[in-house]
Chains A and B, each alone.
Chain A
Amino acid sequence: MYTIAYKEALTDVTKLMVVRAPHVARSARAGQFVIVRIDEFGERIPLTIADYDRAAGTITIIFQELGKTTKQLGKLIPGDTLSSFAGPLGHPTEIDNYGVVVCIGGGVGIAPIYPITRALKEAGNRVISIIGARTKDLLFWEEKMMTVSDRFIVCTDDGSHGRAGLVTEPLKELLEDKDNSIAKVWAIGPAGMMKFVTLTTKPYAVPTIVSLNTIMIDGTGMCGGCRVLLEEGARFVCVDGPEFDGHKVDWDSLLSRLSFYRDEEREATEYYEHKCRMDGAKTMTRK
């Protein structure tokens, strides 16, 4: 059992949690992930390690409440426990001094891009960061990102904050700007966003690293459920990734595989919400 030590709402639907898991904290590094299972009935879901504290033995996870599991997770409070917390899994991000780099975080992807941005900054890169979300209420960590960036751009699809439009627009301008000579781009966010970022950088041949969040079960290379098609063949995201050269990813195949269990996810969420309402009704009558 792993105890939740701290919880914070970053937006209405984005939660940060600090979990006591010394076995993971001792060797965790930026770019890696954990597999979390809430209770005996729970599914195993991958969540990126947003931060870690070796001395305290804790791992920070950030998630958006989308389906059944993340909604249930979002209801837990400090002192509650998780039944499994396995990791750290996957390869850590390769950090070096590349020169000028761009770090892009979309939606909940702002969380995992932050430690990478910070590490790149510490390694001496000139860091330009772009964060974006559908709307203002889904943005978080603006200040944190700003303090580790040399230049900082924020966009929202609906224009409610920062620039109106997609993260690919400022990215394209940066790529066009001859003074920049961007050495490398990192992009973490919804698969659709990562796809368009890689399409944007491709004509400029700027290496673009993406962190894939596929469906996973074990997270240790045993099921192949996380496989992704690259130019050179199929790879397992959990052991070979989660970071890949975005220009080699077959995005359409990835997007379609991500949607494979959509009906079941909806069913599970409805079933859960129905149960919650019933439980809620029960507690109300008891009062």
Chain B
Amino acid sequence: MAELKPAERMKIKRHPMPNQNEQVRRGNFTEVALGYAPETAQEEAERCLQCKDPKCVGGCPVGVLIPQFIKAIREGDMVQAVEWMKVKNNLPAICGRVCPQESQCEGSCILGEKGEPVAIGRLERYVGDYELAHRTCPLVKAPKTGTRIAVVGSGPAGLTCAVDLGREGHDVTIFESLHSPGGVLIYGIPEFRLPKSVVHHEVTYAVECLGIQIKTDHIIGRTYTLDELLVDFDVVFLGTGAGLPSFLRIPGINLNGVMSANEFLTRVNLMKAYQFPDYDTPVKVGRKVAVIGGGNVAMDAVRCSLRLQELAARKNGDERGEVHIVYRRSKDEVPARQEEFAHAGEEGVIFDFLTNPVEILGDEHRQVRALRCVRMELGEPDDSGRRRPVERRGSDFDMEIDTVIMALGTNPNPIVFVDADGLDRTTYGTAVADLETGRTKKRRVWAGGDVVTGAATVISAMGAGKRAAADMHAFLKGESAWD
């Protein structure tokens, strides 16, 4: 294509993502978004103005070299595109699929001021998928340093940290409590949004190229304590995430049919309950499901419920049930990724906004039969800048429900803090760590990701893993003393 003028570029419409049809996809767990074809990617890349002062980069938590990689796609030089990408982002196939681009790179893109931003996320995924298929940018290990490093947790923070340190020639061992590495990417985010094969690919590749050891079934704080790790390893990185679910403090939470989104999603994703009985772990989803919350976790849980209902209905030949999102704020405050919110609507999720549960009611068998809620109104803005929902007096009503899934946020998993003298924690249970370097209050221990920030995003966890790796390397080379 000949070189276009900015005005011409701005006339090109943003290219939609080809998706699986909503009627088909509600009955399967395969990926919804199918990815750009090469021509579409190139045309979308033509939309980028190659700004001198690119706002998009400022919006990206790790500062991906966005105009550079987009230019390479435009020129058809995918090897170069991958190379630009990998300067800042080790896992583009994952980030392209799960980052909240609308509030990061795309939210800052100059084109968004008047029209639609460049589809940076979709292009990122395109580059990531190309790299997965071709591996043009191999991970290379520097000469061995002889230094031993322990990384606790194999989510995006731990994986990124391990890869960066492995490349520097260090001996890295990852300790993971579950049987499969990947953290939330494996146990939380469903297959239809992030295929597990993508995660497995990335993990296996890192292990093979860099000789990283992964010890699954190892719970730090129980199998080994942090202090024991510090005897065998020179430095330790903690990327243990925030997996401890919270439950609403309302009556009825121990009834049958009430579960945390983490339990539900772990059964479905990690344990593959949607393939029960070929896989042993079952999951029960009733005919009327209410998922409480409005974030990504809630959207994932509600869309898994809907699929399980559809599969059961097809198998048994009955009518499919209904699934609700019950959220105490309004549509405009929904914190989930825009795309997932839209997909949930297309698939038939019912949204009950400005609705707050106050009690779960059970029947004589201690099985959930209804959710008692009150209607809310938006009042003054709160600390987060969102308008605070306030209860409308006397507005309580009962929703007939048989399954309640709570997606209300999570806190750091406490086990790693057992016998870890000097590893300070905040009142929220997060590890105290320097946000730039990841250094904790305990010598030779770094931390990053959700364990430090509380539940956040994949890309912020990766960024923290990367910054910590750089600081750990500097410390090990003697370039940066601890004190």
A-to-B contact residues, CB < 8 Å? 23-24, 26-27, 35, 37, 41-44, 68-69, 83-89, 217-218, 220-225, 227-229, 234, 239, 250, 252-253, 256-257, 259-261, 264-265, 267-268, 271-272
Contacts and interface: CB of A to CB of B under 8 A. Distances in A.
A265 B282 CA distance: 8
A108 B177 CA distance: 27
Interface residues of B, number: 41
B186 to A, nearest CB: 12
Contacts of B256: 256-257, 259-260
Contacts of A220: 177-178, 219, 243, 413, 415
The 6 closest A-B pairs by CB, nearest first: A264-B282, A223-B263, A86-B217, A43-B280, A222-B243, A84-B179
Contact of B222 (A87, A256, A271): A87
B217 A260 contact: no
A41 B280 CA distance: 6
Nearest to A270: B277
Contacts of A24: 223
B263 A88 contact: no
B272 to A, nearest CB: 8
B254 A86 contact: no
A227 B255 CA distance: 11
Given A224-B260, A259-B256, 10 more contacts: A87-B222, A221-B243, A221-B244, A222-B187, A223-B259, A227-B247, A227-B254, A265-B282, A268-B276, A268-B282
A287 B414 CA distance: 55
Interface in B167-206: 177-179, 187
Given A224-B262, A239-B415, A256-B366, A217 B254 contact: no
Interface of B: 177-179, 187, 215-219, 222-224, 243-245, 247, 253-254, 256-257, 259-260, 262-263, 266-267, 271-272, 276-282, 284, 365-366, 413-415
A253 B254 contact: yes
A44 B271 contact: yes
Nearest to A253: B254
A25 B222 CA distance: 11
Contacts of B366: 252-253, 256
B365 to A, nearest CB: 7
B266 A222 contact: yes
Given A37-B179, A257-B254, A257-B256, A43 B245 contact: no
A43 B283 CA distance: 11
27 contacts: A23-B218, A27-B223, A27-B224, A41-B272, A44-B271, A86-B178, A87-B217, A87-B222, A89-B219, A217-B267, A220-B177, A222-B262, A223-B245, A223-B259, A223-B263, A224-B247, A224-B260, A224-B262, A224-B263, A227-B254, A256-B256, A260-B256, A260-B257, A261-B282, A264-B277, A268-B277, A272-B277
Contact of A41 (B224, B278, B284): B278
A42 B413 contact: no
Contacts, number: 126
A41 B262 contact: no
Contacts of A221: 243-244, 413-415
B259 A43 contact: no
Contacts of A225: 259-260, 263
B222 A27 contact: yes
B362 to A, nearest CB: 9
A217 B281 contact: yes
A183 B259 CA distance: 38
Contact of B263 (A217, A229, A234, A271): A217
Contacts of A69: 280
Given A222-B244, A224-B263, A225-B263, A217 B219 contact: no
A223 B284 contact: no
A223 B262 contact: yes
Contacts of B177: 86, 218, 220
| Most chain A beta-carbon neighbours within 10 Å: one of B254, B257, B284, B413 | B254
Interface of B is mostly: loop
A37 B282 CA distance: 14
A223 B265 CA distance: 9
A264 B284 contact: yes
Contacts of B284: 260-261, 264
Contacts of B278: 41
| Most chain B beta-carbon neighbours within 10 Å: one of A27, A223, A225, A271 | A223
A280 to B, nearest CB: 19
A271 B415 contact: no
Nearest to A86: B217
Nearest to B282: A264
A37 B280 CA distance: 10
B431 to A, nearest CB: 16
B233 to A, nearest CB: 15
B260 to A, nearest CB: 4
Contacts of B217: 23, 35, 84-87
A37 B180 CA distance: 12
A218 B282 contact: no
| Most chain B beta-carbon neighbours within 10 Å: one of A88, A234, A250, A264 | A264
A234 B245 CA distance: 12
Contact of A234 (B218, B247, B257): B247
A264 B277 CA distance: 8
A58 to B, nearest CB: 15
B254 A224 contact: no
Contacts of A222: 187, 243-245, 262, 266, 413
B363 to A, nearest CB: 11
Contacts of B280: 41-43, 68-69, 268
Contacts of B178: 86, 218, 220
Contacts of B219: 86-87, 89, 220
A222 B259 CA distance: 12
Contacts of A44: 179, 271, 281
Contacts of A87: 217, 219, 222-223
Contacts of B267: 217
A207 to B, nearest CB: 24
Contacts of B216: 84, 86
Contacts of B253: 234
A236 to B, nearest CB: 8
A217 B244 CA distance: 13
Nearest to B253: A234
Contacts of B277: 264, 267-268, 271-272
